[in-house]
Structure 1
Amino acid sequence: MSLLELPDPPDWRRSKGIGWVLVLLSFVVAGVYSVLGAAAALHGSYLTTAVSVGWAAFLLLLALVAGLVMAGRLVPQIDSERTGLTLRPDRVFSVLILAGVVATIPSTLIFVVFAPMGAIDFATTRALRVFWPICAAVLLVIVITGLVRAWRRGGVGHVTLTPAMVENADVMKTMLFEWDDVVEVCGHAESMRAHRPVVLRLRNGDEAVIGNANVFVPGGAALYWMVRHYWRHPEDRGELVDDRALQRLRQGQYDLT
């Protein structure tokens, strides 16, 4: 069985239709912001234009990335090293995500500073002039923090399997879990909503969630079955430090029971 023929886990929710609706909605909202920006430029409201263009660019890039992921058009970056097997998102995915984030930073900063002054055309209510700039400022701090961490780490996230543990890194944090602490691998999280997750249920009752598995491999199922296989078969974990794990991944030779 090849990598792309692996079945989805039975407890994954079928949400591809909703995903495409959200992609379409993002394109529509981006179009609205583009129109607002163009109209503002004609009237000399260049601050509004800057905000609208930045937010439109972010939404367009986000929708493009989501569409590529759901269509399975991204190529995963897989490194087989002496320390373990590491899966990273496609470089195109990382570049588009980071470009979208960078585009929205100056626009959001302009909104935070000038919306309370009434200088942004579409900030016409008290909520948009007071409440939303505060929320945008908090979001801006989070985004910049994540961007700095991604820059230092050299990417937006990765999953690494070693003979001893699983390492799950996203933009904000890196978590390590020993195989011996995992009591179950499943595809449904109790503690949070997650899209196509690989859920490690731990001995202490907690859950470790690797979300959006389809970002790391097309469809995401291969990552689920890989983690589950090496959890159920400790005797095979030695493969993770040589090319055998990569060959097993390419051929989809996992325990699917």
Structure 2
Amino acid sequence: MEAQRSGEDGRIPADWLYSRKMRWLIFLGLAMVASFALLWAWQTVAALVEGRFEYLWFYLPAFLSMAAVSVPGLEVIRSRMRTRARVGSCELRPEGTAITANRLHALLLRSYLLLGTVACLAFSVGMFTGVYTFPMTASQESLFPFLVGALGVCCGGYVVLLATGRLRNPLIVCTPTELRVRRGIETQSIEWDRIAGLEATSLREYQRNSAIRISPANPDALTIDRHYRGPFSGVLKSPPAIVAKADQFEVGAVPLYWFLRYYLEHPDDRRELADGRAVGRLLRGELVS
């Protein structure tokens, strides 16, 4: 199977050039988030100065949550633009070579969800009890506490699902015989020899994620381990192919693409995935064509 190359840089898959150029959209979104963080920071200071300490249950978590949510966007851009694997982004485990998601993103995810839960519930309870007063119309006062409270419940539920392992951070594990890709709700596994194709593609979400699509030779080639047991689990369908959002991984989207392609096309070298040589080759940049 032929690798996708761009005329601009032979290392960059052609379908990823647009997402790399449009990274300014993420910067624009981050600027909007940062403006809200500054607003809540200002309100936090004002509440402290004016002695309105009960408002800190809303303002302070809202500020910290908005500040924390900005970091994953920056990490996505860095992973999307990286052409050399980052040290510490992959490791040898007993089952094979593991490529982990961005650790800082994984840490902050629970933090800003938990802070968001506190802020939303504090706002909702404060409005219902009359402790909080904001310049709103009568219809807004009757509607916003329900909407913000529902958002807080959703954030809290997400935290519980992460804490109990029903939702998990992305992970790719490569063994000499199979490839395993874990996403939030499930882990998909496929034997290397049953992969029909591997291509770089762009997903039309989050400013076109740089993604890697791994197509099975036949539908029964995929093995699925569903670890999500929560609301709507019965209606969630597994995709017919493995799709990994490459810019969620700390190693970098481009190094990850060439790493997977190399071991797909070189079956005799797959034993390196079990003895640590694959990790060394990835970190030294030997596999980026």
Q: Using the alignment, how far apart are the partners of 1:114 and 1:88 within structure 2?
A: 40
Matched, 1:211 2:211: no
Contact 2:15 2:202 in 1 (8 A): no
Query: What do residues 214-243 of structure 1 show as CA deviations (whole Å, max 9, x unaligned)?
Result: 53214x210111112222332222211012
Contact 2:65 2:112 in 1 (8 A): yes
Q: Using the alignment, how far apart are the partners of 1:108 and 1:172 within structure 2?
A: 25
Q: Using the alignment, how far apart are the partners of 1:115 and 1:148 within structure 2?
A: 31
1:38 to 29, 32, 45: 45
Q: Give the CA deviation at 1:160.
A: 1.0
Cα gap change, 1:250 to 1:94, in 2 (>3 Å): same
Q: Provide structure 1 residue ranges, at least 5 long, that are not aligned to the other structure.
A: none
Q: Using the alignment, how far apart are the partners of 1:6 and 1:117 within structure 2?
A: 62
2:91 to 68, 79, 83: 79
1:177 to 183, 186, 190: 190
- Count residues with an aligned counterpart: 248
Matched, 1:136 2:140: no
2:14 is paired with a residue of what secondary structure?
coil
2:259 to 218, 223, 226: 226
Contact 1:112 1:137 in 2 (8 A): no
Matched, 1:111 2:117: no
Q: Give the CA deviation at 1:27.
A: 1.3
1:131 is paired with a residue of what secondary structure?
helix
Trace 1:115-126 onto structure 2 (pairs within 5 A).
Answer: 115-122=127-134, 124=136, 125=140, 126=142
Matched, 1:249 2:282: yes
Q: Give the CA deviation at 1:91.
A: 4.2
Partner of residue 111, structure 2: 99
Q: Using the alignment, how far apart are the partners of 1:181 and 1:115 within structure 2?
A: 57
Query: TM-score, with normalisation over the residues of structure 1?
Result: 0.78
Cα gap change, 1:66 to 1:190, in 2 (>3 Å): closer
Q: Give the CA deviation at 1:199.
A: 1.7
Matched, 1:201 2:215: yes
Cα gap change, 1:214 to 1:94, in 2 (>3 Å): closer
Matched, 1:187 2:224: no
Query: TM-score, with normalisation over the residues of structure 2?
Result: 0.71
RMSD of aligned Cα (Å): 3.3
Partner of residue 60, structure 1: 67
Q: Using the alignment, how far apart are the partners of 2:282 and 2:180 within structure 1?
A: 18
Question: Could you tell which deviates more after superposition, 41-50 or 181-190?
Answer: 41-50
Q: Using the alignment, how far apart are the partners of 2:204 and 2:24 within structure 1?
A: 24
2:209 is paired with a residue of what secondary structure?
coil
Q: Give the CA deviation at 1:198.
A: 1.8
1:28 is paired with a residue of what secondary structure?
helix
